Each structure stands twice: as C-alpha cells, then as structure tokens.
Amino acid sequence: MSEHVEVMIVGAGLSGIGAAWHLQDRCPGRSYVILEARAAMGGTWDLFRYPGIRSDSDMHTLGYSFRPWTAAKSIADGPSIRAYIEETARDGGIDRHIRFHHKVTRASWSTKEARWTVEARRADGTTATFTCNWLHMCSGYYDYDRGHAPAFEGQESFAGRIVHPQFWPQDLDYAGKKVVVIGSGATAVTLVPSMARQAAHVTMLQRSPTYVVSRPAEDGFANWLRRHLPSKAAYGVTRWKNVLMGMFFYRMTRTRPEQTKERLIGMVREKLGPDYDVATHFTPRYNPWDQRLCLVPDSDLFDAISAGDASVETGTIDRFTPGGIMLSDGREITADIIVTATGLEVALMGGTQFERDGVPIDLTQSLQYKGMMFSDVPNISFVFGYTNASWTLKADLVAMYLCRLLNTMKKRGLRQATPRIGADPVAPEPFVDFTSGYIQRALDRLPRQGDRKPWRLNQNYALDVLALRFGSVDDSMEFSNPAPSARRAA
C-alpha cells in the first residue's frame, strides 16, 4: 500500500527544511513529506561530530533568507547550526512532516500517471512505498555511509588509532597525545587548532598546500546593524553585503589571479612571520578558487602554529609505521593517533536509482537545467550549492523557482514539466568547473552542464536571482499532460 503526496522532499538538512518552508509559504495547501535516512534532521550538521566542527561560510549567507541569523558569531559551530535548522522546522511545523529512518533507494517515473513511485528502506529493513507528483532531492552531494579513505601501505601495523572525521568516535581521548591529521582541506584546518588545545602536538600532514584565509568569527558590521535596525532588515543588509563582497573577491581571483595569489599568501606570511616557510606549506600550485578556499576564524590555525602546539608538514606518504608515518623523503612523523581527513566520496542524490517507464535513467547523459533539473527527466529537481559561495544561497533560489513551477502548472492545469534541449545543439561540459579531488574523482558519475544558458551553471548568485526568481519558467521547458484515460484513472 502506497501513500501519495503532491511533493516529496528527500533529506531533512539545510536544503530540505528550507524547501519545506518555501513550499508552505508559496504553495499553501499542497501535501508534502520529507524522507530522511537518518534518525535526526540536520544533514551534514548532524552527521559530522568531530572537534571544532563549524561552517566555512558566514551564517548570514549560509542561513535562510527568511530566518535571520541573530547570534554574535557569524562563523558558527556545528551544534549551533543544527539548533538553527531544528528551530526552523519546529517553528514552521515542518518537523511533523518528516519521516526519519527512511532511506530513498529507488524512484520510478510513470508517464501515463505523471507521478513518481518512490521506495524507501526503513531501519528495520522493510520497504515503504510513496507516490508523488514532484520529487525534490535535497540529499546533498556526498556519501553518508563512507568517506574517501585511501589505503596506505602498512596502516595495519600502526600501533595507535586511525579515525576518519566523518565517523568520529565519541570516546576518542587525544589529551596529551601526538596527533597527525592527514589533509589540507576545510576539515583538516578545523581539526588541527581544535585538537591542539588538548593534544601534546598536532601535525597537519598535506600532500600539497591549500589557500587558507583568516576572517573574524564575528561580523562587527552585522552586530552593529542589529543594535540599530530590526533583525530582519539588519540580516538582509548583511546578507547582501557579504554576497557582493564574495562576488567581488571571486571576480578578482578570475581576472587577476597572480595578484590575488600574492595577496593571500602575503596575509599568511603576516600571520606566521618572515621566518616561516610559507613557500613550502602555504603556497598552492593552483590559482585561487580553482578549489575552495579554506577559512579559519580569528586566525586559530595560525595561532596554534605560532604557539608551537601545531605544525604543518608537506610531503607524500611512503607508508605507515608502528609509531607513525614515514614520508617518501625519509622523514618519520611520530603519532599516537592518525586522523584521515582525506575527503568525501560523491554520491549525488544519495545514490538513488532512477527509472522512467521501466527503463533506467542514466543521469550522466543528461544536462543540468538551471543547475536544478535534468534534460528530458520530468518533475524532479535537486539542490547543489555554489562552489564559490554559501550552499544555502542556491538552495533558497531553487526552492523559490520550484514553487513558481508548481504554481504555474496548477494555474495552467498541467501535470508534467520536462526540460528539453530543442533543435539548437548544446555542447556538454563537466558538472562543475572545479579541480577539488572529490569532484574530479566523480566526474564520470555526474550529470554534465552545457555551454549555454539555461544549461550552463552561473556560479553567480546575482545572475541566479534574475534567472530563478524573475526569469521565464517557459525557457526550454515543455509542459504537458498524460493521456486523457490516465487522467480519468488518476
């Protein structure tokens, strides 16, 4: 026996809870359900529990457009973000629509019925079946069940403990211990200063450097505005200020990469002093924003290094030893605990298998439509945030556009919306223009974008505001109805 809703949202993280809020606000009366594989809402912010877990974007842009972030710290810790999501769901009555322990495994589209049949595996191993008119995938981009964990020679000989940040053991005692954190991304630069407060010493071992930028944990301008303006007005001004500053900086990295690179590295040198080997440890081989920049609040990483509580080593791993890690150049780093902050495994849309009229859908052969739908696949949308700005900026716009689509279809009495490429050819390009390892490892498993709009990603919030909030919903979109007999049967 299946249960029918008009809209199904998959995932109860930032994107899913935000989508539900917009749906209630802009499409009142529509039935919906949120299926969440885990036991709690929060997504990323419920899964990751490693020391120091925090945002790498300011909360005035990572927060929802409709719910002001009012805490003093704009670079927020994980528990605060999780509480923000939970409060949003509770205050909006969204929590009553969530089905926990429901992992979506399969979705089948029926053209005749103009609906999806969705199968979800419950915690007890049984399968729940739902049908819906629209499927909105808010399940993120990475695999919740496994992180990227390359095999290192000799790791079984290591006498200490090896942990991955995605599955942090709550009983891990690192006080007074020597810790090596393998990696140089956002997780590593968060873990190192946090663990250094209790550990004997923490070494960040990286194969190659990443751009690391320090920003104040508190936004002084935002806090000043909140004292003088209503919270919603203050939040809106701060949000746009941060959006525009981010867009300006990103443009600088694209138009003047060498000057930007010199400035970013110079800022690190100012923090660590003229005697520190910035050229080896903090000078990447790529240009800024070819990969995501790493944010450190209030210079905490640099302070830990300057105090001698943490250090950075750059080199390749030859093998693990009983007492630590041997590098290819013969150096050995001793360790009691090794943390493999080696990245994520991409699983777009939670690894769900899709079918259309009994035939498997190969999304790698589809093009993204406005960064939220797929060519020739009806009544499905997904969220993938910006690579150069906050995730929620895009998630909010996608939810608003979805509501516009649903209202248009209802007004016109139509039940299917399918992006179509049409007669003019579109050249396919990679999913995103990004060189980060987790993206590059998964390119052959991801849908592509096109070389022209609406198939090309903007990666620009202002352009997406114009396209998704005010642009035509008829742009390369085919609206239709199933056959008359199927309509009567429905």
Residue 442 has what pLDDT? 79
**Domain locations along the chain:** 3-144+345-480, 149-342
CATH number of 3-144+345-480: 3.50.50.60
Whole-prediction pTM? 0.94
Closest to 60 measured CA to CA, from 195, 216, 179, 281: 216
d(CA 392, CA 63): 7
**Residue 458 near residue 86, CB atoms below 8 Å:** no
- First-to-last C-alpha distance (Å) of the chain: 16
pLDDT of residue 362: 93
Structure confidence at residue 484 (pLDDT): 53
**What residue ranges of the chain have pLDDT lower than 50?**
485-490
On the question of a cis peptide bond just before residue 150, with omega within 30 degrees of 0, the verdict is no
Token code pair at residue 179: 């810790």
Q: Is 180 left (phi over 0), alpha (psi -120 to 50) or beta?
A: beta
pLDDT of residue 441: 83
pLDDT of residue 440: 81
CB 78 within 8 A of CB 45: yes
* Amino acid at site 281: H
The answer to whether residues 393 and 386 touch, using CB atoms and an 8 Å cutoff, is yes
Q: Give whole-number Cα distances, 236 to 66, 130, 280, 398, 465, in Å.
A: 9, 38, 41, 19, 15
Q: What are phi and psi of 347, to 5 degrees?
A: -145, 75
Check residue 433 and give its pLDDT: 76
**pLDDT for position 225:** 95
Q: What are the pLDDT digits (tens) for 136-170? A: 999 988 889 989 889 999 999 999 999 999 999 99
- Three-state DSSP at 154 gives coil
> CATH assignment of 149-342, given 2.60.40.1220, 3.50.50.60, 3.40.50.11900, 3.40.50.300?
3.50.50.60
Q: Can you read off the two tokens belonging to residue 145?
A: 């069940």
Task: Tell me the pairing of strands 353-356 and 102-110.
Answer: parallel
